[in-house]
Structure 1
Amino acid sequence: MSPLNLLLDKQKNRQLIALALPMILSNITVPLLGLVDTAVIGHLSNAYYLGGVAVGSTIITLILWLLGFLRMSTTGLVAQAYGARDIQGQYRLLLQSASLAILLGTSAIVFQSPIISFATALSDASTEVLYYSQLYFKVRIWSTPFALLNLALLGWLLGRQQPKAAMWQLIAANMTNIILDLLFVIGFKWGVQGAALASVIADIIGFIVAASMVYRELAKQGGFDFINLCRQLTLTSYKKLLGLNRDIFIRSLCLQLAFAFMTFEGASLGDNTVAANAVLLNLLLLISYALDGIAYYAEAEVGRAFGENNRQRMTESVTLATLWSAISAILFMLFFSLFGSQIITLLTSLEVVQQVAEQYLIWVVFMPLLAFGSYLFDGVYIGAAEGKIMRNSMIVATFGVFFPAWILLQSSGNHALWAAMSLFMVARSLTLACHYHYRLKVKVKLS
């Protein structure tokens, strides 16, 4: 079927909307949460409050995104088991992923002191920014077991093509966080620690909602024998999940290295610069989470195609997702070009931060067009459970493009960071797109 026919095919578009729209709606609440965090803290009296939250939340985000393989690998493998109609395989993956989440979340709490010491040692931020980043981190770290369990449960629900259940989990958590942000920071005057505590409580609420959704799925499907499944959880049974997790971990490590470097290097350029970058990076998150909604459709459909060994399903799903990702990217470009300055003004009342952010807004305006392919093909390769390819693509983009570009352009200051990030996104898109067209398709038989 031609791309135009796919774009006009009502049935296939309804399927995409059914899978993608709930995740787009719920994902938009994630950057909305970041925007509220930024807006609440950004209206305090000094830029170092916002800088402190930016650095502290970057460290937490680094931990969670490094361990984001819990969501991605679970989605890919469960989607394949779903396509192959392997119910017990789906149940085993649920227990395996949840047990890993508990182990890793507890470890993060136990080792919180060396983590924060190491992370802040890498930054040249001011004393005030570092102080408030540590206040934020020491509260927020206690939510990691719940946050990681949320990733595992979310991945399982998405793999079973249950985006509405996942949507309610994310919306409940993020709306709770937004409300408590306003209450704790503005109402109770708890400042940076109030913003962190709001996130902790929100992660707990998210876990309660996700656990109830999973329980409902288990009750509806039937055949879930917890004791018998636990007997099957040998080290060997974890081999496939751990192998995929390892590759996605390395991929996520490279990704977070680039984003963390941008935050920490921005901090070395001054409190106003790191605060301005925090504002603009929230706009970048808005792009990523919206485009990820379409990528979730690709994950579910590509995983199902691999389980069914159906090349036509995979090809049509990827083509349709590509078309809608490109359309969405163009709409984001228009939105940021028209309203970018007004959004910056809403996020911070500090005039000097507004002025700095507007100097670099042009990079965010063009970022959707440069980056949409990277989000789309991440979804394709998660669904295909091809962690090695994702890993290799990210290594090339990080060490072959991002850091060399920054080194060559660093005399341009913060513009060098944004240029390096733009080229990094392009490299991710091109490497995965080329591999898909020349290698991945042949792994699935013609239907």
Structure 2
Amino acid sequence: MSSLCDAWRHAPTQRRVWALAGPMILSNLSVPLVALVDSAVVGHLPHAYQLGAVAVGGSLYSLLVWTFGFLRMGTTGFAAQACGRGDGGALRQLLGQGLLLAGALALLCGLLVVPLLPALLTLMQPGAELDALARDYLHIRLLGLPAALASYALIGWLLGSQNARAPLLMLLTANLLNVALDLWFVLGLEWGVAGAAWASVIAEWSGALLGLALASRRLREYLGRADWQALRRWASWRPLLAVNRDIFIRTLALQSVFLLLTVQGTRLGDATVAANALLLNGLLLTAHALDGLAHALEALCGHAIGARDRLALRRSLWVAGIWSLLASLGFAALFLLGGQWFVDLQTDIAEVRAIAHAHLPFLAALPLLAVWSYLLDGLFIGATRAREMRDAMLLAFALCLPLAWLLQGLGNAGLWLAFLVFMLTRSLVLGAFFWRIERRGGWVPAER
């Protein structure tokens, strides 16, 4: 308890946490804002299948992009530790590696996804109108994939270099442009679902180009030269690729859960999948806000580990943890008391509203169960300990998949109940890994 009070009263730690968390919360909240605007704009078109098409197409695109979230998470920890050591050459080399990986993965996905798209949509068993619109939406969104993956690498690198304002500027520029173009293309030009897709593509490229300029400016603050010849040697790639591999497996399992949620919701009807999309927008809002504190923890813990400062690591963890708990309580109250307004703002389709209203208690419970997994992910990423993150996710997935099958008779309520148990299990397992490493004193490596 004394260490908690010491951390909470330590003004420099509070300032460092919020110097990073504040901009990241604002930038992260702009991400679900795009999904909310897409839903709100398309949700006021006359047919439920139009909203369903954006929900299905957007879910598939998000599954694809978020699967490569390791481009951000893997980069942040290594950049933060290099920054803690004051190693400008390593920062330059890491940025180059991140952008090269982003380009290669975007090319690979472009070659593989389009042929697999019909099979993915067939798995969901959508109606004919929804199927056609979802295909058109996703084909357009794929044009922005290289920019989306490059932005992941850039944001991770900038955050690891202790600069949260640059990611804020990137994301706000891209997402506010997306909102403006969404309204213009869908409502002004009447391009419908395709207009929402084109708005996102233009915004993604705008954000990536701005990120390149901001990263170039940040590099001027660090002395050192990158060993570009080292990129030809496997040894220089092994640590980054090992962490990225584990984060990739972890993210693939997580996105499989969201895909299964969408697939099962689609089988329950167009109105149900649309209602679930509106509720998941609430989860996205919560996750992106709480992730702002987790991202701050990534950068601060990575910096403390690079500088071998155990006290700074402990203080950062306590301060970010307390603020995360308070924020999760606030979101739970928001959805419990104002959830109907949140749903009604996104659509005026009566059937979709009714289904979403009935499942609001599940949404209100999610922040309290999931907050610990977000927070501990930040610590493990900053420490570049991705193996524990991977194992926790796989264990939660393996335990909750049979539960989802057993609860099919409860319909959509069973689906959401299984999802809640998945989030709780993930938090508990990560907590167990944290406690084991803490008891062994393994967060900060011993001096050699």
Query: Take 2:383 and 2:413, find their aligned partners in 1: how far apart are those partners?
Result: 36
Could you tell me how far 1:420 is from its partner in structure 2?
1.1
From the superposition, tell whether residues 167 and 233 of structure 1 become closer, same or farther in structure 2 (CA, over 3 Å). farther
Query: Take 2:229 and 2:287, find their aligned partners in 1: how far apart are those partners?
Result: 37
Query: Take 2:235 and 2:363, find their aligned partners in 1: how far apart are those partners?
Result: 45
2:98 corresponding residue in structure 1: 97
1:3 corresponding residue in structure 2: 4
Could you tell me how far 1:41 is from its partner in structure 2?
0.6
Could you tell me how far 1:231 is from its partner in structure 2?
5.5
Which amino acid counterpart does residue 16 of structure 1 have in structure 2? Answer: V
Q: Which moved more, 1:302-311 or 1:56-65?
A: 302-311
Could you tell me how far 1:389 is from its partner in structure 2?
0.6
Could you tell me how far 1:117 is from its partner in structure 2?
2.2
Query: Take 1:316 and 1:115, find their aligned partners in 2: how far apart are those partners?
Result: 47
Could you tell me how far 1:108 is from its partner in structure 2?
1.8
1:202 corresponding residue in structure 2: 203
Which amino acid counterpart does residue 406 of structure 1 have in structure 2? Answer: A
Which amino acid counterpart does residue 346 of structure 1 have in structure 2? Answer: L
Question: For structure 2, which runs of at least 5 residues remain unmatched after alignment?
Answer: none
The yes-or-no answer on 1:160 pairing with 2:169 is no
Asked if the contact 1:244/1:386 (under 8 Å) is kept, the reply is yes
Runs of at least 4 residues off by over 4 Å: none
Query: Take 1:84 and 1:418, find their aligned partners in 2: how far apart are those partners?
Result: 45
1:358 corresponding residue in structure 2: 357
Could you tell me how far 1:10 is from its partner in structure 2?
2.6
2:336 corresponding residue in structure 1: 337
Query: Take 2:283 and 2:231, find their aligned partners in 1: how far apart are those partners?
Result: 42
Q: How does 1:403-414 map to 2 (within 5 A)?
A: 403-414=401-412
Asked if the contact 1:69/1:245 (under 8 Å) is kept, the reply is yes
1:83 corresponding residue in structure 2: 84
The yes-or-no answer on 1:424 pairing with 2:422 is yes
The yes-or-no answer on 1:137 pairing with 2:138 is yes
1:116 corresponding residue in structure 2: 117
Q: How many residues align?
A: 444
Could you tell me how far 1:82 is from its partner in structure 2?
1.3
Which amino acid counterpart does residue 114 of structure 1 have in structure 2? Answer: P
Asked if the contact 1:24/1:294 (under 8 Å) is kept, the reply is yes
Could you tell me how far 1:311 is from its partner in structure 2?
2.2
Give per-residue Cα distances to partners, 1:158-179, cap 9 Å, x unaligned.
1101000111001001001000
Query: Take 2:114 and 2:211, find their aligned partners in 1: how far apart are those partners?
Result: 30
Task: State the secondary structure of the residue aligned to 2:140.
Answer: helix
Query: Take 2:392 and 2:379, find their aligned partners in 1: how far apart are those partners?
Result: 13
2:51 corresponding residue in structure 1: 50
Between the aligned residues of both structures, percent identity stands at 41
Give per-residue Cα distances to partners, 1:60-118, cap 9 Å, x unaligned.
11111111100000001111111122221111111111001011112222233223123
TM-score (norm 1): 0.96
Asked if the contact 1:124/1:265 (under 8 Å) is kept, the reply is no
Could you tell me how far 1:219 is from its partner in structure 2?
2.6
Task: State the secondary structure of the residue aligned to 1:2.
Answer: helix
Two-structure CA RMSD over aligned residues (Å): 1.5
From the superposition, tell whether residues 248 and 293 of structure 1 become closer, same or farther in structure 2 (CA, over 3 Å). same
Asked if the contact 2:102/2:150 (under 8 Å) is kept, the reply is yes
The yes-or-no answer on 1:439 pairing with 2:437 is yes
Which amino acid counterpart does residue 272 of structure 1 have in structure 2? Answer: A
The yes-or-no answer on 1:268 pairing with 2:267 is yes
Query: Take 1:312 and 1:6, find their aligned partners in 2: how far apart are those partners?
Result: 9
Asked if the contact 1:310/1:446 (under 8 Å) is kept, the reply is no
Query: Take 1:275 and 1:184, find their aligned partners in 2: how far apart are those partners?
Result: 21
2:127 corresponding residue in structure 1: 126
1:398 corresponding residue in structure 2: 397
Asked if the contact 1:405/1:419 (under 8 Å) is kept, the reply is no
Could you tell me how far 1:224 is from its partner in structure 2?
4.5
Question: For structure 1, which runs of at least 5 residues remain unmatched after alignment?
Answer: none
Task: State the secondary structure of the residue aligned to 1:162.
Answer: coil
Could you tell me how far 1:234 is from its partner in structure 2?
2.7
